[in-house]
Amino acid sequence: MSLDELARTAYTPDHEAFRQTVRRFMQEEVAPNAVKWDEEKIVPREIWPKAGELGMLCPTVPEEYGGLGLDFGYNAIVNEEAAYFGGSPLGFSLQSDIVVNYLVQYGSEEQKQKWLPRLVSGETITAIAMTEPGTGSDLQGIRTTAKKDGNHYVINGSKTYITNGQNADLILVCAKTDTEVQPAWKGVSIILVEADREGFARGRNLDKIGQDAADTSELFFNDVRVPMTNCLGEEGKGFIYLMSELPQERLSIAVSAQASAQKAYDDTVAFVKDRKAFGKTVFDFQNTRFVLADLKTKLQVGWAHLDWALNRHAKKELTATEGAAAKLWHTELQWEIMDKCLQLHGGAGYMNEYPIARAWRGARVTRIFGGTNEIMKELIGRSL
Just list the catalytic residues: 249
From residue 91, alpha-carbon distances to 116, 126, 216, 287 in Å are: 17, 9, 10, 38
Report which secondary-structure segment, H or E, holds 109. helix 109-121
Q: 177 and 142 in contact (C-beta within 8 Å)?
A: no
Cα–Cα dist 62/216, whole Å: 29
Q: What is the DSSP letter of 275?
A: -
Strands (E), the chain: 126-129, 145-149, 152-163, 170-176, 188-194, 200-205, 216-227, 276-277, 280-281
Q: Which residues make Cβ contacts (< 8 Å) with residue 221, sequence separation at least 6?
A: 144, 155, 156, 157, 158, 159, 173, 193, 199, 200
Q: What is the DSSP letter of 123?
A: S
Q: Reduced to 3 states, what is the DSSP secondary structure of residue 156? A: strand
Name residue 345's amino acid: H
